[in-house]
Amino acid sequence: MFKRLLLVALATTLTLSPAQALLSLEKYVNSKQLASPGLLIVNPVDQSILAQNQADTPRIPASVLKLLSTTTALYFLGPDKQYSTKIFKTAEPDTFYIKGTLDPWLTSNLSFAKKNKQRFLPGLVSKANSENRKKLKILYTGLFDRDTYDLAANLKNKGIKVSFQRITYAEAEAIGIEELNSVTSVSVSEMVKFATLWSDNRLADRLAKDAAREIGFPTTGKGLTTTFKLALDSLGVDHSGLVVKDGSGLSKRNRVSAITVVNLLSAIRNNPTFASIYEGLPVSGKTGTLQKRFLQTAPEAVGKVRAKTGWVNNSVTLAGYVQNGETEYVFAILADGITPTLTARNKARAAMDRLLGVIVKGNQ
């Protein structure tokens, strides 16, 4: 059945004979460099299958999982949501209260703040600490532990020693006297673009976990899996075998099938709520994590592929959209049987690039 569908799809979409097209694609689908991947390439207009291999088998997605994370964040948080962080003075001149909202993109790295428009937490403290006191106490709510650690390190470099104390919102109501300064983040949609373009692990994980918190679920693997499934259900995407342990894709225990990824990409393609995912996808040979891909391996595909990359240990993945004339195919390649070496991973990436190159040049 698969070969019949494949031949029909190839014959009607590529200007190669069915035999030539089958040989060209199967050469890469079955290449030892990909080690029998979970793979699916579909024309979303008529759902015709261009190629497939164990598409319904759950695989280790690596950072391709970020497609699910960002979809879930946009669905439950909304593309326009922003986060605010405020600092207040208290009755003690050397004590401040920071009221955060678990901003996913707050930073204590000045270069990140300048380059990526991330909000700079030490700047918030510096404006409040106008007398440049060398010993501070900061009471806080709504900050990640990592944020307090990075802030302490930043202030230490300036000769300022700081201690932190997490308090409850109820306790904060009786402490904060006057707001001194505040910062507001970029929108969730802007964060999604960045997380997708550069595969930002921390950002994607924080967005996914905020989505879980938003609907009352814990940020554990179980809570994330349930949250992701609810978002996929809303889009009519089957999620059989889905297992989520984090929002970044770093966990080797994450599982998703190629068919789930392809159906998700098809469902969100023209939905304005999720437009930032498509806009943020790296472009082959041009931007983000695909900037150096395809240039040598499949130059005909430069500028013709928009896709999320991923790798972890023995898994190398790629999923997105590939242009063939007026037709935009949706694809997912989840190769999780790769030897965990740089050489093997690069060979897998090259095989993926060339496979997509065959699709691009099929009508040339």
| pLDDT at site 22 | 46
The CATH number covering residue 160 comes to 3.50.80
Verify that 182 and 194 share a domain, yes or no.
no
pLDDT at 139 over 70: yes
Entry pTM: 0.91
Alpha helix positions (H), 235-330: 258-268, 275-280
Verify that 207 and 273 share a domain, yes or no.
yes
Verify that 278 and 326 share a domain, yes or no.
yes
**324-362, pLDDT tens digit by residue?**
989 999 999 999 999 999 999 999 999 999 999 999 987
Verify that 195 and 308 share a domain, yes or no.
yes
Distances from the Cα of 350 to the Cα of 140, 324, 357, angstroms: 48, 19, 10
For the chain, the average pLDDT equals 92
Residue 238: domain span: 2-78+190-363
Verify that 112 and 44 share a domain, yes or no.
no
**194-218, pLDDT tens digit by residue?**
999 999 999 999 999 999 999 999 9
What 3 state SS string does 19-49 have? Answer: HHHHHHHHHHHCCCCCCCCEEEEEECCCCEE
Verify that 206 and 302 share a domain, yes or no.
yes
**pLDDT tier at 45 (50, 70, 90 boundaries)?**
confident
User: Last residue of a domain, which of 122, 157, 186?
Assistant: 186
Verify that 235 and 132 share a domain, yes or no.
no
* Inter-axis angle of helices 18-29 and 2-13, nearest 10: 120
**Amino acid found at 15:** T
Sign of CA dihedral 111, 246, 196, 217: negative
Query: Which H or E run includes 299?
Result: none
User: Last residue of a domain, which of 186, 212, 238?
Assistant: 186
**Nearest CA to 182 among 90, 276, 87, 112?**
87
| pLDDT at site 117 | 86
User: Last residue of a domain, which of 164, 186, 208?
Assistant: 186
Cα 200 from Cα 112, distance rounded (Å): 12
Verify that 259 and 217 share a domain, yes or no.
yes
**79-103, pLDDT tens digit by residue?**
999 999 999 999 999 999 999 999 9
The CATH number covering residue 280 comes to 3.40.710.10
As for how many domains the chain has, the answer is 2
Provide the 3-class DSSP secondary structure of residue 138. strand
Verify that 102 and 212 share a domain, yes or no.
no
Verify that 247 and 352 share a domain, yes or no.
yes
Cα 85 from Cα 299, distance rounded (Å): 46
| pLDDT at site 250 | 98
Strands, DSSP E only, in the chain?
Answer: 38-43, 48-53, 84-89, 95-99, 135-141, 161-166, 178-184, 305-312, 315-324, 327-335
